[in-house]
Chains A and B, each alone.
Chain A
Amino acid sequence: MPSNSPFLRQPASVQSVMLKVLVALLPGIAMYVWFFGWAVLIQISLASVTALAAEAAMLAARRKPVRHFLTDGSALVTAWLIALSLPSIVPWWLTVLAVLIAIVVAKHLYGGLGQNPFNPAMVAFAAMIVAYPQFMSQWPAAGATDLATQINAIFGQRQLDAMVMATPLDTLRTALHTSGLNATVESVLANKTTYGFLGGKGWELVALGYLIGGLWLVQQRVITWQIPAAFIVAFGGIAGLTHLIDSAQFAGAGFHLFSGGAMLGAFFIATDPVSASTTPRGKLIYAAGIALIDWVIRVYGAYPDGIAFSTLLMNICVPLIDKSTQPPVFGHKEKRP
């Protein structure tokens, strides 16, 4: 904490910010590899190479300085987020296609870094889950870490019966919605081979890794506290409240926060500086909106997780949120409507 005048601040370069985001993803990735095998690293390298190539091609086509923008790392962050949100055993072409959609369509066709109204990684995820639901629902089972099988799944013939499973979120919803089973949240979550202590075997520790990395980003002032805090409070609040009202139908806050993409969303996706809200109060509204929409999609929707759709929906609202939460200029009184 510097406390001496003249309070000079080093303006953060895009490159250093993006580098810190990549570093902060490492604990989560380490957990991912530990529980689900090396496949995710293959996907990350595949996505990174594709992203850099696509970025360079688009920069050249738009006659921008290639080296300057290519080394800012923003394409790498997008690529890593895509690789981490897709199931780690999707076929290679699906990852490549997703990254191309993110970089070419969602980023550069909208005007490049700083101009894109939608989070590129989430545009790609949404396009993939709409186009290929059959591949997007095949997640690796925890402990099925045989490298040869995973490589085969990514690059060759897919014979997956032994190693795939639905996500814990999916399993829970299917069980609750199948009438006649009389399943309650408690009875479903009692199955410890799928569910660990909080969110789902393995997944909860991956989420913990993201949480640790995310807190470090807040401490480094790369991201502000508003978005993750509002996301977690709103998500935990609605999940906890509904769980209190009917614990048989609604899973609790711990389960929701530590399963699916909640932690990745709270610290790495919703905080995208380009597409997120920029005013302090706006960030609170924006992140809480994402959390609430995501909860609704998880509980009542047909898709396994809703981070992508809820982020895109709130991206649309950002201009309105920013306009109505603009803080008063220093020295002026706040306008009361």
Chain B
Amino acid sequence: MSAYRDIARSGLWKQNAILTQLLGLCPLLAISTSMVNAVSLGLATIMVMAVANLAVSSLRSFIPYEIRIPVFILIIAALVTVVDLSFNAWLHDLYLVLGIFIPLIVTNCIVLARVEAFAAKNPVGASTWDGIMMGVGFVWVIGLLGLIREFIGQGTLFSGIDMVVPGLHAIQVLPEDYPGFLVVMLPPGAFFVLGLMIAGRNWLDARANDRAKALLVQHTQASS
């Protein structure tokens, strides 16, 4: 099972699609203006990634190597169409907000990257797990980005939640007369917040590295 644990760890942190590989930035930056939008798009992406990895992995011995990319895209496009129609049918308000970014999951390079780099070479179980974990890695980053931008930008949490769960309301955290900070809601703000998150990740990694080194030194000194 340690292989599965490695896949999970690499998807959530070590090879995180956004914080490490900087893939899929277009939907990330465009949709992360509120947490609800961000997580909804993220969940749609997880679905597509898991099923795409499953499908490609099970068909991998039948797909001719030379035309594999068009075949992958066809499979992904079919799955995205399913997700697109489902959103339109069951979450119509949210569908209107997310708009073009649901069909654009087809071109999201995270999906194609995982299919090409992992699912085309690995067994079905591991590939599906990889799709889910890479997707979860995408969701937590885009969700956190949406949370921060929404909080700083307009002082609320979960605005638009009524589009997903009718009856719930957004929480106004900061006082009503909070003037907002529009820059964070605009694309430059998205880049800045993402940059800070990547810096935070690097900082945590560097600190963990230092600790591991210190531990190693202690051990070698103790044994000598």
User: B192 and A130: CB pair below 8 A?
Assistant: no
Q: Which of B179, B186, B192, B195 sits near A132, CB closer than 8 Å? A: B179
| Distance in angstroms between the alpha carbons of A131 and B149 in the assembled complex | 13
B183 is an interface residue with CB less than 8 A from chain A: yes
User: A130 and B186: CB pair below 8 A?
Assistant: yes
Q: Which residue of B lies closest to A127 (CB)?
A: B183
Binary flags per residue of B75-119, CB closer than 8 Å to A gives 1, else 0:
000000000000000000000000000000000000000000000
B171 is an interface residue with CB less than 8 A from chain A: no
CB-defined contacts of A127 to chain B, threshold 8 Å: 183
User: A131 and B181: CB pair below 8 A?
Assistant: yes
| Distance in angstroms between the alpha carbons of A109 and B180 in the assembled complex | 23
Chain B nearest CB, measured from A87 CB (Å):
15
CB-defined contacts of A105 to chain B, threshold 8 Å: 192
User: A131 and B180: CB pair below 8 A?
Assistant: yes
| Distance in angstroms between the alpha carbons of A132 and B192 in the assembled complex | 18
Question: How many B residues face the partner with a CB closer than 8 A?
Answer: 8
Question: How many A residues face the partner with a CB closer than 8 A?
Answer: 6
B182 is an interface residue with CB less than 8 A from chain A: yes
CB-defined contacts of A131 to chain B, threshold 8 Å: 180-183
Give the contacts of A195-220 with B (CB-CB under 8 A).
none
Chain A nearest CB, measured from B96 CB (Å):
26
CB-defined contacts of A132 to chain B, threshold 8 Å: 179, 182
Give the contacts of B150-181 with A (CB-CB under 8 A).
179-181
Chain B nearest CB, measured from A269 CB (Å):
20
| Distance in angstroms between the alpha carbons of A100 and B43 in the assembled complex | 36
Chain B nearest CB, measured from A225 CB (Å):
34
CB-defined contacts of B180 to chain A, threshold 8 Å: 131
CB-defined contacts of B181 to chain A, threshold 8 Å: 131
Q: Which residues of B contact A (CB under 8 A)?
A: 179-183, 186, 192, 195
Q: Which residues of A contact B (CB under 8 A)?
A: 105, 109, 127, 130-132
Query: Can you list 12 A-B pairs, Cβ within 8 angstroms, ordered by A?
Result: A105-B192, A109-B195, A127-B183, A130-B182, A130-B183, A130-B186, A131-B180, A131-B181, A131-B182, A131-B183, A132-B179, A132-B182
